[in-house]
Structure 1
Amino acid sequence: MARLDINAVGKSFGPVRCADGLSFAVEPGEIVAVFGPSGSGKTMLLRMIAGMYEPDEGDILVGGQSIVGAPPERRGVGMAFQNFALFPHMTARNNIASGLRARAGNEDVASRVKSISKLLKIEHVLGHMPRELSNGQKQRTALARALIGNPDVLLLDDPLRNVDAKLRYEMRLELPSLLRRSSAAVLYVTQDYREAMAIADRIAVLVGGRLVQLARPEEVYARPASVAVARLFGDPSINLAEVEPQVGQGGLSADVAGTRVRLDSGDRTGAQGPCWLGVRPDDLVVTRNAGDDAIPARVVAITPMHERAVLLLRFADGSEWLAALAPDAPVASADDDVFVRFAPESALLFDRATGLRVGQPDRRQAA
């Protein structure tokens, strides 16, 4: 198997910049999720690797050899599409085999179809037409077609987007081990941050055609490179407040809704100035007891979310935050007056001018 290298790749359509200096590598057997909002260039990147479009700048290498300009069938790339893209007049068996017919004998094709369909648990529907398949079976058929040629690079364009929630959850558990068996370098496009975190070894976050962070899932969540990345991960989204941190005898602190709160003692070089303070709803503690670092608030609304309850809190200055509480936590009622705390090390600071994260909280160092 071979490594995929994307070197300074750029692509434009008129004034629209779809890819802007993208550079990263995917090792054999590694799964990299390409994540970002709609229009950030995720699918365009896959299409350039597959040969549907050529980059305007940069190079794409598989196994150290450039594939730019090579025909799609010579690139060693397999691709599964979001809408499955099965041939409606072919059985599942023939859909899976279609990519191999011109390159292998019928006997070899038949044995490969049998092997891959057994692996994906669709051997019982090989004789069915696409209209007779469930969405889950269509998804597995499309994946089998992409995998059957033992590609060096496997491109998956949001393959779980059109399947039901139950199957999506099951496939999040099954896909990582299944994909690693192929030993291909895998690029997995998704707009679901949970999916990216569950499936990928690393996440490449794209915003506006640019790679803004590439790291392990836990690091992207705990140490987002910017406010834009922080907002993309988490449900409910991260709470943000405009602050101007100051260093005093008690260390770094900031004024939040009229209350002075301590921030962590990690590396905060450059934190003295206009910043965004970010605290995830899961890191908030809601209590009826006042004390140091406790911010007075009023409960505006409570939304039960099965495994937790989400509280909409309003501070004295009119700003609002969300808190996500565990099911066994004492939950206040709407219109109750409460106090909000967070551990200093759970706070994130971002430079207000650039949006980039300042420092690294001690508790959240990657292993």
Structure 2
Amino acid sequence: MTTLQLQNIVKRFKSHTVLDDLSLEVASGETLVLFGPSGAGKSVLLRLVAGVIEPDKGNVLIDGEDMSDVEPEHRGIGMAFQNFALFPHMDAFQNIATPLEASRSSADKIKEGVARVAKLLRIDHVLTHRPKALSNGQKQRTALARALVGSPPLLLLDDPLRNVDAKLRFEMRLELPRLLAAQGATVVYVTQDYKEAMALGDRIAVMAAGRIRQVGTPEEIYDAPAFIEIARLFGDPTINLLDVAPTAAAGGVAVELSGVRIPLPGIPAAEAVGRDCLIGLRPESLAFVAAGTAGAIPVTIEAETPLNEKTVSLVLTTDGREVLVSRPAGTPAPASGPAHIAVDGTNALLFDKETGRRIARMGEDAGERGEAA
């Protein structure tokens, strides 16, 4: 079993700082997903761990050993690069087999190992093809198979499902966790797809501008994002963010939406009252209710869009603010005109508008909200 520690990593290219005093720990056998927008530094971080590039400052430790003087081939790492990095003169079988050949495995073990991962990744029918004859999806899976075939203790996967079709991507989200768990590897997995991050990660590290902004379980990141920018990255449709002015209330604070007072229990008044804030409402946490229901907010339905398993409604509050409401497909609700929605204040998020930081509820510890940078 293998652990990975990154200590105060700094990486610059000329005057541009790509990784800025970044620290991170990955536990033995854990799958940690690095998630963030393009340019956040995710791929650079993987190459640095692999030893392809060196940090300007900081240390990479694998099982507690500093890797500063250890060459890439001696770090015990398997890696699938975003740009495939396949040998053009070799067929798919030979590309996949390279880690086994480097470890001097027998011909039978090489054949067995390649056949196993190729079948899993559904490329066993193209093993005799060279990269130029493969589709981008087949190239991506060949690169992933090469990373997996030697059962390395540490796996670095750089967006390995980016170029596969939607059906296979969905299936691999189900298959990969089982495969990785069976191998017992410690995995760092890069993606820009929040659904993939939530499906594959034991924990997610959200990156932005070369820094880790928050680390937590998928549930912690989604339910308790540390910053507005993180809340926006997770969810489809995106979270509703509305300007509010919190006032003190019994057991917390309250805000007004369309003239209706909404209690937010557990939010400390000292942290929120007197500040410009944004309330964050996940579309699926809102519901259409009958007029006269306690706390019902009057709205006007402007549009309704069916999205397979759910239906999303765009509504306007009485003061003209747009709100998205999501419900399971087939759930009865008005399609247009006047309506009312209910807000569950216990699920609402409150952010300081100036800093973007979420205001935590009383009694909420770091484990519940994830580690915020």
Instruction: Confirm or deny a common fold (TM above 0.5).
Output: yes
Q: 1:96 maps to which residue?
A: 96
Judging changes above 3 Å, is the alpha-carbon distance between structure 1 residues 219 and 250 closer, same or farther for their aligned structure 2 residues?
Answer: closer
**Distance (whole Å) between structure 1 residues aligned to residue 352 and residue 278 of structure 2:** 6
Equivalent residues in 2 for 1:97-112, closer than 5 Å: 97-104=97-104, 107=107, 109-112=110-113
One-letter amino acid matched to 1:26? V
Tell me the secondary structure at the aligned position of residue 358 of structure 1. Answer: coil
One-letter amino acid matched to 2:95? N
- Could you tell me the TM-score, scaled by structure 1's length? 0.91
Contact 2:194-2:233 within 8 A present in 1 as well: yes
Q: 1:295 maps to which residue?
A: 297
Q: 1:174 maps to which residue?
A: 175
**Deviates further, 33-42 or 285-294:** 285-294
**Distance (whole Å) between structure 1 residues aligned to residue 249 and residue 98 of structure 2:** 69
**Deviates further, 214-223 or 88-97:** 88-97
**Distance (whole Å) between structure 1 residues aligned to residue 287 and residue 69 of structure 2:** 56
Q: 2:37 maps to which residue?
A: 37
Contact 2:138-2:164 within 8 A present in 1 as well: no
Judging changes above 3 Å, is the alpha-carbon distance between structure 1 residues 269 and 156 closer, same or farther for their aligned structure 2 residues?
Answer: farther
Tell me the secondary structure at the aligned position of residue 263 of structure 1. Answer: strand
Post-superposition Cα deviations, 1:161-194, rounded to whole Å, max 9, x if no partner, equal: 1010000000000000111222221011000000
Structure 1: tracts of 5 or more residues without a match: none
Contact 2:10-2:22 within 8 A present in 1 as well: yes
**Distance (whole Å) between structure 2 residues aligned to residue 104 and residue 250 of structure 1:** 67
- Percentage of pairs with the same residue: 47
Q: 1:183 maps to which residue?
A: 184
**Distance (whole Å) between structure 1 residues aligned to residue 116 and residue 329 of structure 2:** 45
One-letter amino acid matched to 2:21? G
**Distance (whole Å) between structure 1 residues aligned to residue 229 and residue 167 of structure 2:** 30
**Deviates further, 224-233 or 18-27:** 18-27
Q: 2:228 maps to which residue?
A: 227
Contact 2:279-2:351 within 8 A present in 1 as well: yes
Q: 2:287 aligns with which of 285, 288, 295?
A: 285
**Distance (whole Å) between structure 2 residues aligned to residue 240 and residue 15 of structure 1:** 36
One-letter amino acid matched to 1:85? A
Post-superposition Cα deviations, 1:189-228, rounded to whole Å, max 9, x if no partner, equal: 0000000000110000001111111110011100111111
One-letter amino acid matched to 2:281? V
Contact 2:243-2:276 within 8 A present in 1 as well: yes
Equivalent residues in 2 for 1:1-40, closer than 5 Å: 1-40=1-40
**Distance (whole Å) between structure 1 residues aligned to residue 183 and residue 368 of structure 2:** 28
Judging changes above 3 Å, is the alpha-carbon distance between structure 1 residues 255 and 268 closer, same or farther for their aligned structure 2 residues?
Answer: same
Q: 1:207 maps to which residue?
A: 208
**Distance (whole Å) between structure 2 residues aligned to residue 214 and residue 98 of structure 1:** 35
Tell me the secondary structure at the aligned position of residue 235 of structure 1. Answer: coil
Contact 1:257-1:319 within 8 A present in 2 as well: no
Q: 1:128 maps to which residue?
A: 129
Judging changes above 3 Å, is the alpha-carbon distance between structure 1 residues 175 and 102 closer, same or farther for their aligned structure 2 residues?
Answer: closer
Tell me the secondary structure at the aligned position of residue 99 of structure 2. Answer: coil
Could you tell me how far 1:264 is from its partner in structure 2?
2.3
Contact 2:280-2:350 within 8 A present in 1 as well: yes
Could you tell me how far 1:129 is from its partner in structure 2?
2.8
**Distance (whole Å) between structure 1 residues aligned to residue 93 and residue 160 of structure 2:** 19
Q: 1:81 maps to which residue?
A: 81
Q: 1:59 maps to which residue?
A: 59
**Distance (whole Å) between structure 1 residues aligned to residue 210 and residue 78 of structure 2:** 23
Post-superposition Cα deviations, 1:19-46, rounded to whole Å, max 9, x if no partner, equal: 1121111122210010011111111111
Tell me the secondary structure at the aligned position of residue 253 of structure 1. Answer: strand
Q: Would you say how many aligned residue pairs link Structure 1 and Structure 2?
A: 366
Contact 2:34-2:191 within 8 A present in 1 as well: yes
One-letter amino acid matched to 1:62? I
**Distance (whole Å) between structure 2 residues aligned to residue 250 and residue 7 of structure 1:** 41
Could you tell me how far 1:298 is from its partner in structure 2?
1.0
Tell me the secondary structure at the aligned position of residue 40 of structure 1. Answer: coil
**Distance (whole Å) between structure 1 residues aligned to residue 259 and residue 314 of structure 2:** 18
Contact 1:345-1:361 within 8 A present in 2 as well: no
**Distance (whole Å) between structure 1 residues aligned to residue 119 and residue 310 of structure 2:** 39
**Deviates further, 51-60 or 123-132:** 123-132
**Distance (whole Å) between structure 2 residues aligned to residue 206 and residue 74 of structure 1:** 28
1:275 aligns with 2:277: yes
One-letter amino acid matched to 2:215? L
**Distance (whole Å) between structure 2 residues aligned to residue 101 and residue 205 of structure 1:** 36
One-letter amino acid matched to 1:308? K
Post-superposition Cα deviations, 1:120-141, rounded to whole Å, max 9, x if no partner, equal: 5544543333344455543332
**Distance (whole Å) between structure 1 residues aligned to residue 46 and residue 293 of structure 2:** 53
1:348 aligns with 2:336: no
Structure 2: tracts of 5 or more residues without a match: none
Q: CA RMSD in A?
A: 2.5
Judging changes above 3 Å, is the alpha-carbon distance between structure 1 residues 99 and 349 closer, same or farther for their aligned structure 2 residues?
Answer: same
**Distance (whole Å) between structure 2 residues aligned to residue 88 and residue 363 of structure 1:** 54
Post-superposition Cα deviations, 1:57-88, rounded to whole Å, max 9, x if no partner, equal: 11111111111343221221111123433223
One-letter amino acid matched to 1:324? S
